[in-house]
Structure 1
């Protein structure tokens, strides 16, 4: 499991490799809380995410709160069919842009 983050203009890109579960909690929070400035938008790239559990869903909700709640611009991109299915079942398409 590895979490990396980069700022691309006004967008923070958080990439998650491997399992996205409770063991990633602190690294995930550090990826956006350690920034000096708040980005305009956020993109969570799950191209290399192999597993997602309920604690990961909670972490995504914490990111949403940090980014401004209903005003937050957060995209979750490059999901595998299994990951996308979990996000859909959880009704996350109502809270995030899922691509």
Structure 2
């Protein structure tokens, strides 16, 4: 599992890149990746293109990111989801909470 982050040139958008298993073992790295920008970002993108597995812990981490980003006003997109990841997100009704591309 690898989590990296990239802040846009204008500092408004933070992209989190997930590689490998996105599970409980990713919790600290995921939280660190978005908290280190100290609230500068207004928009978040979670690139799940490299995620090979996603469990309920990962769903919880996405909800924590949503809270951090402003709850109902959060601007978060989940992108590059493979079929398995998309299925987990769909079963969990995450399309009601996030933009899933």
The root-mean-square deviation of aligned C-alpha atoms, in Å, is 0.7
What is the number of residues matched between the two proteins? 99
Q: Confirm or deny that 1:49 pairs with 2:28.
A: no
Q: TM-score w.r.t. structure 2 length?
A: 0.95
Residue 76 of structure 1 corresponds to which residue in structure 2?
78
Residue 36 of structure 2 corresponds to which residue in structure 1?
34
1:75 partner SS: strand
After the TM superposition, which of the residue ranges 65-74 and 33-42 deviates more from structure 2?
33-42
Q: After TM superposition, where is structure 1 displaced by more than 6 Å over at least 4 residues in a row? A: none
Residue 3 of structure 2 corresponds to which residue in structure 1?
3
For residues 69 and 89 of structure 1, the distance between their equivalents in structure 2, rounded to whole angstroms, comes to 21
Residue 86 of structure 1 corresponds to which residue in structure 2?
88
In structure 2, stretches of 5+ residues that fail to align are none
